[in-house]
Amino acid sequence: MPPLILAIDQGTTSTRAILFDRKLEPLAVRQQEFPQHFPKPGWVEHDPEEIWASVLATAKGVLRTAKAKAREVAALGITNQRETVVIWDRKTGKPIHKAIVWQDRRTAEMCAKLKAEGHEPLVSQKTGLLLDPYFSGTKIAWLLDHVRNARARAERGELAFGTVDSFLIWRLTGGKVHATDATNASRTLLYNIHDGMWDEDLLRLLNIPASILPDVRDCAADYGVADAELFGEEIPIRGVAGDQQAAAVGQACFAPGMVKSTYGTGCFVLLNTGATAVASQNRLLTTIAYRLDGKTSYALEGAIFIAGAAVQWLRDGLKLVKTAAETGSLAAEANPQEQVYLVPAFVGLGAPHWNPEARGAIFGLTRGTTEKELARATLESVCYQTRDLLDAMRRDWRSADNTVLRVDGGMSASNWTMQFLADILAAPVDRPKVMETTALGVAYLAGLATGMVPAPEKFAKLWKKQHRFTPRMTQALRDAKYQGWKDTVRKLLA
């Protein structure tokens, strides 16, 4: 069997391609950012053609960097930004509109109307989700209603919908495969996570024709082959998972009670609950962690919409830093007497508040406030929000009380941030040896489908820790700082 696995990690602000050997050691990485489009306040779009171009460029580039040929690649895996919506023409493969990104809030009014009509309990019972613009369903409905002739064309079977993974699979296979995996399907507001199928009641509620939907498959499965004309040889596509679930797999969170937190554009905390779909009493999401051999494992999830994006805002918006890495050293130099709090609700607040109308604010500014205090407040805000989520998870799932948090994503490279996270959680934080956990997870799934890698329980034993951060902060200071955060959020929501 060929010795390599190619992972495509299609994220919110960039695309990465990583080549792994059969021992799942990364050999080469290529990354390419692509433009973000903000047509109106609260609206966020991507050009699917720019995403596709970045996927081709990074995938070809990583093969060149490793001096590898496509025939040496046994399998390709795709992980992706999850709730982002693309609709395209089945004949031409051309999108009918820019992709509506998971951060986009244009359907807030639609969600509020559906809530007011009393539909949220039904939606939550079937999907584990809440009625929020974050998810795909209302974005699909918006496109069908606002793009000229889209609804009529959809009903005639001329259009196809997909999250980004589906769009990439369609393009890679030359339109031969229209499919997604169970994790991505579970984020659409249309998929019954208990029955494992698209739900007729939900399709009717959002007025979405079933003809546009992709086939739903296991995370480690046959998704066709990438055309030979793209890479010189056909490459089997064998693994697919949404980015947060892929990161949970990469962190080997296979046992119930294990928790991972990924710090990318946003922050997403997943708690594995095994074969039990736990209905949250604390405004968390119940979602599919992964599906292997037809067996579904579930998770509780908390979503923070803005994490690394707040650091990007410091860099690109306020121009207070030249690189994201500077924020940690600035935070370390901040005046401890300055009590500045940033609530980064730039696109609303996610779990456990779920307020799409909230907007960002800074509290506690004085004449002594400098870029150092703003950097510290930005990094601290992500840690406070993580505690909000973990506290909610502990109330829903008691066995999470003594868990160790496994972290990954760009911000987890910041020692200052991870130490503050351990301090504010009063719990250990483990950073893995292999930081590319999202790509590693989908590479593992692709390898699992081809028999190249060991079963999950054996893979879990191979996970290695790079560093453990343990709490150092006094309980009194921890309580005071977190109470200040809660008071600040309360003021904002008021």
- Note the pLDDT tens digit of each residue in 276-305: 999 988 889 999 999 999 999 999 999 888
Bridge partner list, 469 = 429
Asked if omega into 352 is within 30° of 0 (cis), the reply is yes
pLDDT < 70 regions, the chain = 1, 399-402
pLDDT of residue 42: 86
Collapse the DSSP code of 212 into the 3-class scheme (helix H, G, I; strand E, B; otherwise coil) and give the result: helix
Give the DSSP letter of residue 13: S
Q: Determine the Cα–Cα distance for residues 188 and 83; give it in Å rounded to an integer.
A: 7
Helices 437-450 and 243-250 pack at an angle, to 10 degrees, of 80
100, two tokens: 């509506």
What value, to the nearest 5°, has the Cα angle with vertex 435 and ends 249 and 8?
65
pTM of the model: 0.88
Residue 401: its pLDDT value, please? 57
pLDDT at residue 434 in the model: 84
Topology (CATH level 3) of domain 4-243: Nucleotidyltransferase; domain 5 (3.30.420)
Task: Please report the pLDDT score of residue 37 as a whole number.
Answer: 93
Asked whether the CA dihedral 464, 467, 471, 477 is positive or negative, the reply is negative
Q: Which of 127, 24, 15, 11 minimizes the C-alpha distance to 75?
A: 24
CA 464 to chain centre: 23
DSSP letters spanning 332-393: HTS-TT---EEE--BTBB-TTT-BTT---EEE---TT--HHHHHHHHHHHHHHHHHHHHHHH
List the strands of the sheet with 295-304, edge to edge: 285-292, 295-304, 267-274, 259-263, 405-408, 429-432, 465-469
Tell me which DSSP letter residue 24 carries. -
The owner of tokens 């990465």 is 16
CB 129 within 8 A of CB 87: no
Three-class DSSP category at 49? helix
